[in-house]
DNA sequence: CGAGTGATTGACTGCGTTCAACCGACGTGG
DNA sequence: CCACGTCGGTTGAACGCAGTCAATCACTCG
């Protein structure tokens, strides 16, 4: 199952990546692609599978920065700004990526104006989404946070009735800064209110 | 007093902005530059003063997305992605900006590769900071949130002893998603622990 | 069938919020 | 020069909601 926020257009054409020396790399489910504090050495783009970026704080609690699907790239901002990764990346399922050295990637960006523009827009979109997400996370009760999370999944999706939400309660909790139990109890209330639907433990929105 | 996170390099050279038809605009303290949900019509760059971007939620609570000082631009992501502003911008003090129509701005970005690169890096930096900020805001007790906020102000600042924090308790509360009272109580505890200093109601970090 | 994973429920607790005052510094006008 | 208004800072008391802990349930897969 592809992640709900999959953006179908490829960030960089695969032929270009291979032409510039990109190589594929396979990761098993659960394998870590890079750790927090690592310096970025590669540009990563997903050929198949799904990747999650998240942060673990001092008390051992996770916070998801986002999930990425086929065609999407991840972990680029630190490449552009020359800082270490602020979060770790992990394959959620068996995943194949194509990767390219940091320097080569930056050369490609300078070489193709259209690609530079695409990344400018991508970064702008990420800023935008993180701003919206922050608003919905901070200062808001559980119901609003969860609604915000669910709505962001709907991007570009046709509003044809309800769709299965491909996330576990735990994943929703990690993305919204709530505890699993709170997510469960809030979702039940929301189901009673008709805002979501729960059919044998599956969540529809 | 310039905001603590002032980035001294100008985003776009002022001569270029004027050459392309940029005009200056004055805002009085408290004046709103644009509202949430407005479609972006201008690129804004600060000549003097200080601007705050923030969001007001349903319950009337504010959440600061950031503050911007001399030489900085703000509100660009929606221009690049063609969406309405997710937050409003307001002059915190009397402020002068230079502004330029959206279309002209985009033309400049395409015209000058160096400027395009600068904005790519700027957007990447913003993503980075918002990611770090989100981690520190969610799932964390007041002390950690406030520490995160204070540390982000230190960027590039020489660590020469303590500096006056140019923010009111209310502003810190709005930026961290806490209540004023909680900020006050937590700061007092932190002062006792030596993490900050409070001299006649002024905060030093 | 047994192990493992995710979902669920109940009881209790604690922390940050809420509400309501008051304080201290500063500026302005009569 | 002082009275007054305003704004930011401070304190105390009570409350309520989400977190915590612990146990159980439902489903899947080897």
B19 — pLDDT class (breaks 50, 70, 90)? very high
A5 — pLDDT class (breaks 50, 70, 90)? very low
Give the residue from B40, B46, B23, B21 showing the smallest Cα distance to B97.
B46
**SS3 state of residue B144:** helix
Q: In chain B, what residues touch A59 (CB-CB under 8 Å)? A: 139
Judge whether A117 is closer than 8 Å to chain B, CB to CB: yes
* Mean pLDDT for all residues in chain A: 92
Picking from B119, B125, B139, the nearest residue to A120 by CB comes out as B119
pLDDT tens for B109-123 read 999 999 999 999 999
**Residue B199: pLDDT above 80?**
yes
Closest chain B C-alpha to A81 CA, distance in angstroms: 6
Record the tokens describing residue B61, joined without a space. 């609570």
Instruction: Please give the pLDDT value at position A55.
Output: 95
Instruction: Please give the pLDDT value at position A155.
Output: 75
- Spatial distance between the Cα atoms of A72 and A46, rounded to a whole number of angstroms: 6
**Residue B8: pLDDT above 60?**
no
Instruction: Please give the pLDDT value at position B159.
Output: 67
pLDDT tens for B147-181 read 999 999 887 666 678 899 999 999 999 999 999 99
Strand order of the sheet with strand B51-56?
B32-34, B88-91, B51-56, B62-68
Closest chain A residue to the Cα of B114, Cα to Cα = A110
Record the tokens describing residue B190, joined without a space. 């932190």
* Cβ neighbours around B195 below 10 Å, total: 14
* Cβ neighbours around A37 below 10 Å, total: 10
* Cβ neighbours around B22 below 10 Å, total: 23
Closest chain B residue to the Cα of A137, Cα to Cα = B138
Q: Is the dihedral of CA B149, B152, B157, B160 positive or negative?
A: positive
Picking from B81, B121, B130, the nearest residue to A125 by CB comes out as B81
Instruction: Please give the pLDDT value at position B157.
Output: 64
* Axis-axis angle for helices A102-111, B113-137 (nearest 10): 130
Phi, psi (degrees; rounded to nearest 5) at A100 = -150, 140
pLDDT tens for A69-118 read 999 999 999 999 999 999 999 999 999 999 999 999 999 999 999 999 99
- Spatial distance between the Cα atoms of B65 and B73, rounded to a whole number of angstroms: 14
CA B63 to chain centre: 12
**Residue B86: pLDDT above 50?**
yes
> Quick check: A200 CB within 7 A of strand D?
yes
Mean pLDDT value across residues A16-28: 96
Interface probe, candidates B59, B128, B145, chain A, greatest A C-beta count within 10 A: B128
**SS3 state of residue A121:** helix
Q: What is the largest CA-CA distance in chain A?
A: 55
Closest chain A C-alpha to B126 CA, distance in angstroms: 6
Mean pLDDT value across residues B129-149: 95
CA A74 to chain centre: 8
Instruction: Please give the pLDDT value at position A4.
Output: 42
- CB–CB of A123/A31 below 8 Å? no
Instruction: Please give the pLDDT value at position A26.
Output: 95
pLDDT tens for B28-61 read 988 999 999 999 999 999 999 999 999 999 888 9
- CB–CB of B47/B97 below 8 Å? yes
Instruction: Please give the pLDDT value at position A1.
Output: 40
Contact A63 B128 (CB under 8 A): no
Q: Which residue is nearest to nucleotide D12 (CA to C1')?
A: B181
pLDDT tens for A104-163 read 999 999 999 999 999 999 999 999 999 999 999 998 999 999 999 999 988 766 667 889
Phi, psi (degrees; rounded to nearest 5) at A119 = -75, -35
Instruction: Please give the pLDDT value at position B156.
Output: 65
DSSP label at residue A62: E
DSSP label at residue A39: P
- CB–CB of B26/B20 below 8 Å? no
């Amino acid at each position: 199952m592809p992640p709900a926020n999959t953006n179908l257009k490829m960030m960089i054409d695969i032929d270009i990546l291979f032409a510039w020396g990109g190589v594929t790399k396979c990761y098993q489910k659960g394998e870590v692609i890079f750790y927090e504090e690592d310096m970025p050495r590669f540009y990563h783009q997903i050929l198949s599978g799904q990747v999650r970026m998240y942060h673990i704080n001092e008390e051992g609690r996770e916070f998801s920065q986002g999930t990425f699907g086929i065609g999407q790239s991840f972990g680029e901002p630190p490449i552009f700004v020359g800082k270490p990764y602020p979060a770790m990346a992990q394959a959620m399922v068996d995943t194949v990526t194509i990767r390219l050295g940091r320097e080569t990637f930056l050369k490609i960006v300078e070489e193709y104006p259209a690609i530079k523009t695409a990344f400018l827009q991508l970064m702008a979109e990420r800023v935008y989404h993180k701003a919206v997400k922050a608003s919905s996370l901070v200062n808001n009760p559980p119901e609003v946070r969860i609604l915000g999370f669910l709505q962001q999944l709907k991007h570009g999706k046709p509003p044809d009735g309800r769709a299965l939400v491909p996330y576990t309660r735990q994943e929703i909790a990690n993305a919204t800064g709530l505890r699993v139990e709170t997510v469960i109890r809030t979702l039940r209330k929301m189901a009673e209110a008709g805002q979501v639907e729960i059919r044998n433990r599956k969540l529809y929105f």
